[in-house]
Amino acid sequence: MKGRHVYINGVGFHPFGRFPDKSLKTLAATAALAALDDAGIGISGIDAALCANAYSGLLNGQESIRGETWLRGIGLGAIPVMNVENACASGSTAVHLACMGIASGNYDTVLVVGAEKMFVNDTGRTLAALANSADTEVMGNIGMQFSAVDAIRVREMMAEEDVGAEAFEWITMKNHDHAVSNPIAQYRKPISMEQVRASRMIADPIRLLMCSAISDGAAALVISSQPGRGGVRVRASALTSSPWRLAPGALPGPTLAADKAYAQAGIGPSDLDLAEVHDAVSPAELMHYRELRFCEDGEVAKFVAERASALGGRLPVNPSGGLNSRGHPVGATGVAQLLELTLQLRGDAGARQVPGARLALAHNSGGWIGEDPAVSAVHILERTA
């Protein structure tokens, strides 16, 4: 990454789940204050704030100035507050912009808050809001829902890799196991492969327990030009929009973002100690092993058979439980991924700690356009202390 060094010095969250008695403002404020406390600074130490949210306009009736309404309640005013919407990648996009602001020297310390309130007592309304994260001219009114988008992408992978229902059930069980000790997670009970198999089909081959949940929740980071506890440095912050894949063999958006991030950090995938990836449905995690170059094409089944992505494996993936088990309050998700990596690199992840973790990657996708996610974001963090 060009410019000044960038560090994550504080993390905070409001647990993910269903909170009918709490407003979006309350969720966001809880996470923001926790991050400031963790960084050991007050609001006077913040130069700017970036607030990530996708559906507050459609679901909560606050279309504009979302962040300003959230942060006024913690006494923050006068400084720049910027609102970021980039579908499910809103949070990582806000982090990207914060990193650019600090690396360029324009800001020294930035607060990033991602929050979403998706339970509105009407699942159909929430699903319709999610469907807005595609080009509605193309994908509106055709019965398309994101579980089906993911189902089709998973089937495309199945045509090239020797994976099927058993691998999907295992990956779901693995991420639920990971979430058991995560205090932010929506689902903290282990489940069996049999339970996954018995859950109802949503969009073949995706079953209910493979889907990320509808969630309320918030996560926040304090990002700075000076190192804090653990010296967790942002080594790469890469963002791509959906590419026009006009030539045969053109790379998908997540791979373009990952390659950019590896180049920025000057490392390769084999240097990573852990990763958080965008498992909007749990089998999608397997696709990301290829797209992010954790394994070669044709080797996903081997990667699964080795249990490489479980805690204790050679590259633990989604130690937080991922979107599938931690939950997926859309605007908060990308921030929560980096929160998890920061805890891991500081050695603060408790029972799910990856021993000696030094380099970690987060991958966050948002929406759909053409043949790819509309947004792909990849960050790489390093413990420097």
Partner 1 sequence: MQKANPHLFVLEGELPDAPGLRGTRCRQCAQVVLLQVSACPRCAGRDLEAVCIGQRATLGESSEVFHSLDGFEAPYFIGMIKTEQGPATFAPIAAAPGTALKAGMSLQFTLLPRSDGRVGFAYAIAEGAA
Region for residue 277 given its phi and psi (left: phi exceeds 0; alpha: psi -120 to 50; beta: otherwise): beta
Which of 2, 21, 246, 270 contacts partner 1 by CB under 8 A?
246
Residue 99 annotated among the catalytic residues of the structure: no
Closer to partner 1 at the Cβ: 154 or 232?
154
Which of 96, 176, 288, 328 is flagged as catalytic? 328
Token output for 269: 């995938």
Q: What stretches of the chain adopt beta strand conformation (E)?
A: 7-17, 48-52, 81-84, 109-117, 201-203, 206-207, 216-224, 232-241, 274-276, 359-366, 375-383
Closer to partner 1 at the Cβ: 190 or 298?
298
Spell out the SS3 assignment of 260-323. HHHHHHCCCHHHCCEEECCCCECCHHHHHHHHCCCCCCCCHHHHHHCCCCCCCCCCCECCCCHH
Closest by CA to 100, choosing from 84, 87, 116, is 84
Interaction between residue 295 and partner 1 (CB under 8 A): no
Smallest gap, in angstroms, from Cβ of residue 122 to partner 1? 14
Interaction between residue 142 and partner 1 (CB under 8 A): yes
Interaction between residue 147 and partner 1 (CB under 8 A): yes
Closer to partner 1 at the Cβ: 37 or 156?
156
Interaction between residue 121 and partner 1 (CB under 8 A): no
Which of 51, 88, 99, 295 is flagged as catalytic? 88
Interaction between residue 140 and partner 1 (CB under 8 A): yes
Closer to partner 1 at the Cβ: 149 or 345?
149
Binding mask 151-190 for partner 1 (x = CB under 8 A): xxx-xx--x-------------------------------
Question: 1-4: long-range contacts (C-beta < 8 A, 24 or more apart)?
Answer: 1/99, 1/103, 1/234, 1/235, 1/236, 1/237, 1/264, 1/265, 2/103, 3/102, 3/103, 3/104, 3/105, 4/102, 4/103, 4/104, 4/105, 4/225
Smallest gap, in angstroms, from Cβ of residue 151 to partner 1? 4
Smallest gap, in angstroms, from Cβ of residue 121 to partner 1? 18
Rounding to the nearest 10 degrees, give the CA dihedral for residues 116, 119, 122, 124.
50
Q: Are 335 and 94 in contact (CB under 8 A)?
A: yes
Smallest gap, in angstroms, from Cβ of residue 293 to partner 1? 23
Q: What stretches of 151-292 adopt beta strand conformation (E)?
A: 201-203, 206-207, 216-224, 232-241, 274-276
Binding mask 42-81 for partner 1 (x = CB under 8 A): ----------------------------------------
Closer to partner 1 at the Cβ: 38 or 161?
161
Token output for 40: 């050991």
Q: Are 102 and 337 in contact (CB under 8 A)?
A: no
Residue 328 annotated among the catalytic residues of the structure: yes
Closer to partner 1 at the Cβ: 204 or 297?
204
Interface with partner 1 (CB under 8 A), residue total 32
Token output for 64: 């504009």
Interaction between residue 371 and partner 1 (CB under 8 A): yes
Which sign, positive or negative, has the C-alpha torsion 95, 99, 101, 102? positive
Binding mask 186-205 for partner 1 (x = CB under 8 A): --------------xxxxxx
Interaction between residue 287 and partner 1 (CB under 8 A): no
Interaction between residue 127 and partner 1 (CB under 8 A): yes
Candidate segments 63-71, 76-84, 121-129, 290-298, binder of partner 1 by CB under 8 A:
121-129
Residues with catalytic function: 88, 328
Which residues are at the interface with partner 1 (CB under 8 A)? 124, 127-128, 131, 137-145, 147-149, 151-153, 155-156, 159, 200-206, 244, 246, 371
